[in-house]
Structure formats: C-alpha cells, structure tokens
Structure 1
Amino acid sequence: MISRTLFTDILIIVLLIALQIFVLNRITLFGKYTPVIYPVFVMFYPFFRNKYQFLLLSFILGLGIDAFLYTWGINAFATTVIAYFRTLIFRTSTDTSTDFFSFHSLQWSQFFLFVFMSIFIHQALVQYIEIFKFSRFFDIFLNVLATSGISFIFIIIYALAFKIKQKV
C-alpha cells in the first residue's frame, strides 16, 4: 500500500481538478448531463487520517473546481459537506456500527450504495443551490438523478481501475 502524504493528496487534487475541467466537463451525455468524478477524493480518502486536514483538502478541491467554473463556492460547499458527513453516509449505507472502516470488508452492494449516496448528496447540493427555484423542483431532481447515475458509472470505473475496494 502506498503511503499517502500531504504532497500526494495535493497532487491527487490537482489531477482530479484537471480531469474534471479539461476532460469530463467537455463530455455532455444526452445533451445536458456532465459526469462528475472529483468527489472520489472525498469518498475514498482513508478514514484514519486527520479529519481537519481532510476537510481542508476537500474544501480546496471544491474551491479549485469553483475557480474554473465560476460557481462562487457551490462545489466547495457541497464537497465539504459530503466530507463532513462521510462517516455518517458510510455507516448508513453499510449498516456498520464499529469504529473501524474498510472498503475491503464491504459487500459490493454496500460499496455501490455508499458511492451512490455520496454522489447523489453532492449533486443535490450543487444543483439545488445553483438553480434555486422551487418551481423547477422536479426538473432539478431528475437532473440530479441522471447526473448522479452517469457519475456513478464513471466513479465505479475509476474504483475498479485503481482497485479502491481492494486497497483502502
């Protein structure tokens, strides 16, 4: 297992921002849905690391996305929120009550539920804050579902490519 340091965390953040901005934001599926992959940093960050450093790095990741998309902190807010509640999301999706968390010990259905819940919450926060019209509630909800589903597929491919379930 590779030891992660602050330098490697920052390098991963820079690479994820570049991947999101310069590759994935140029992909629009069905004319309006863009896959989102940068929350994988928050989802798969080791549980045993410093929580305050993790929250700060998650905020920086979201702020980096905001800087390129001119979204005024929406992504920073959403990314920090899922980082803050990640343990709760993990416990809810896996029905675990222990203090030891490991993706390796999860069943695939629990792993999928954790990933989908995380990306769904992230997308709901981003899109409802960005559009913020009660009259478009159901349109936004369908957009959140579609974007979450597409992003889920990209994140699972990422997890399989980097063997997240086996390593973390």
Structure 2
Amino acid sequence: MISRTLFTDILLIAFLTALQIFILNRITLFGEYTPVLYPVFVMFYPFFRNRYHFLALSFILGLSIDAFLGTWGINAFATTAVAYYRTLIFRTSTDTTTDFFTFSTLQWPQFLLFIISAIFFHQFLVQYIEFFKLSRFFEILLNILLSTVFSFLFILLYALIFKIKQRI
C-alpha cells in the first residue's frame, strides 16, 4: 500500500518535472541560462523521513528530467548526489552540530546560504558533466555562477510563496 506521504511526494515530483520542462525551460537569461526549480524537492524534503526513499525519489526526479531533456542521466546523478550530501551541505552552510534539523529555527542568512550552496553544487555537477573541457573552464564556471544566481531567485520565490522556512 502506498502511504499518503509517498503519494504526495510522487505528485510533487510530477508537478516539478512538468513545471521545469514545459515552463521554466522556455525562460532563458541572455538566451543561454535557464533556471532550475526541481532541486527544491531535494533541498526541502524533511530530514526525518526515510533516507532510502528520499534517495530513490531524488533519482526518479532527476531521471524524469533526463527523460524529457535527453541528457542521459546527468540530472539524475546531480540530483541524487545533492540528496546524498544534503545533510553535509546543511551542516556546513548553517553551522549546525545537532542531529535534529529544522528550517524554522534557522536565521535567514543561514537559510539562504543553504539554498545557494545546494543549487551551486547541483549546477556544478550538471554543467561539468555535460560540457567538461579544460579549455572551457572559465566559460563553464561563468555558466555555473549565472545559472546558480538565476535559479536561486526562482527557488527563493518558491520558498517564500510556500512558506518553506516556517513549515518544515
């Protein structure tokens, strides 16, 4: 039997995939940089839930994006890697040493640093796997930075609309 939370997680994955593919991929900055919103599932997934379900759902989310974009598992790898290292990213960006994590107890600078760290790591993995050449190092780094900033604005807007900091 599928639990209600697993069912809602699958619906959220379907919604984020559709939103990314059909709307956000049509928005570009300077005709080249596209915002990514789907990593919010990984960033804001509750810490207390089953880790293996979380990793599997993160992989499914990335794979669904790859299926539409034809990117051969790049997004699946990046999304799963962010999911795997999320606790480490959270601890290093927020200076949290306890085993109990909540977003509601964070100060805004810590919350924003967590978001930008996670999206930078995601974009770093996606861009370097897709376009890696040593001769294009600075071009790829600029692409990562601009995509991170552009995506950060969309993810911050998402967090404010759905009041992520107060709810989780």
Q: Specify the TM-score bucket, using the shorter chain as the normaliser.
A: over 0.9
TM-score when normalising by structure 2: 0.97
More off after superposition, 4-13 vs 35-44: 4-13
List per-residue Cα deviations over 1:106-144 (Å, max 9, x = no partner).
Answer: 000000000000000000000000011111011000000
Equivalent positions of 1:131-142 (< 5 A) are 131-142=131-142
Q: Quote the offset at 1:29 in angstroms.
A: 1.0
Q: Quote the offset at 1:145 in angstroms.
A: 0.2
Q: In the alignment, what sits opposite 1:111?
A: 111
List per-residue Cα deviations over 1:28-48 (Å, max 9, x = no partner).
Answer: 111111000000000000000
Distance across 1 between alignment mates of 2:102 and 2:11:
23
Give the unaligned 5+ runs of structure 1: none
Distance across 2 between alignment mates of 1:150 and 1:111:
17
Q: In the alignment, what sits opposite 1:36?
A: 36
- Structure 1 runs of 4+ aligned residues shifted over 2 Å read none
- Partner of 1:54: helix, strand, or coil? helix
Q: Quote the offset at 1:151 in angstroms.
A: 0.2
Q: How many residues align?
A: 166
Distance across 2 between alignment mates of 1:120 and 1:96:
20
- Partner of 1:72: helix, strand, or coil? coil
Distance across 2 between alignment mates of 1:139 and 1:62:
24
Q: In the alignment, what sits opposite 2:120?
A: 120
Q: Quote the offset at 1:73 in angstroms.
A: 0.1
List per-residue Cα deviations over 1:26-80 (Å, max 9, x = no partner).
Answer: 0111111100000000000000000000000000000000000000000000000
Give the unaligned 5+ runs of structure 2: none
Q: In the alignment, what sits opposite 1:155?
A: 155
Q: In the alignment, what sits opposite 1:47?
A: 47
Distance across 2 between alignment mates of 1:124 and 1:73:
15
Q: In the alignment, what sits opposite 1:10?
A: 10
TM-score when normalising by structure 1: 0.97
Q: In the alignment, what sits opposite 1:27?
A: 27
Q: In the alignment, what sits opposite 1:89?
A: 89
| Seq. identity, % | 74
Q: In the alignment, what sits opposite 1:64?
A: 64
CA RMSD of aligned residues (A): 1.0
Q: In the alignment, what sits opposite 1:98?
A: 98
List per-residue Cα deviations over 1:84-115 (Å, max 9, x = no partner).
Answer: 00000000000010001000000000000000
Q: Quote the offset at 1:4 in angstroms.
A: 6.0
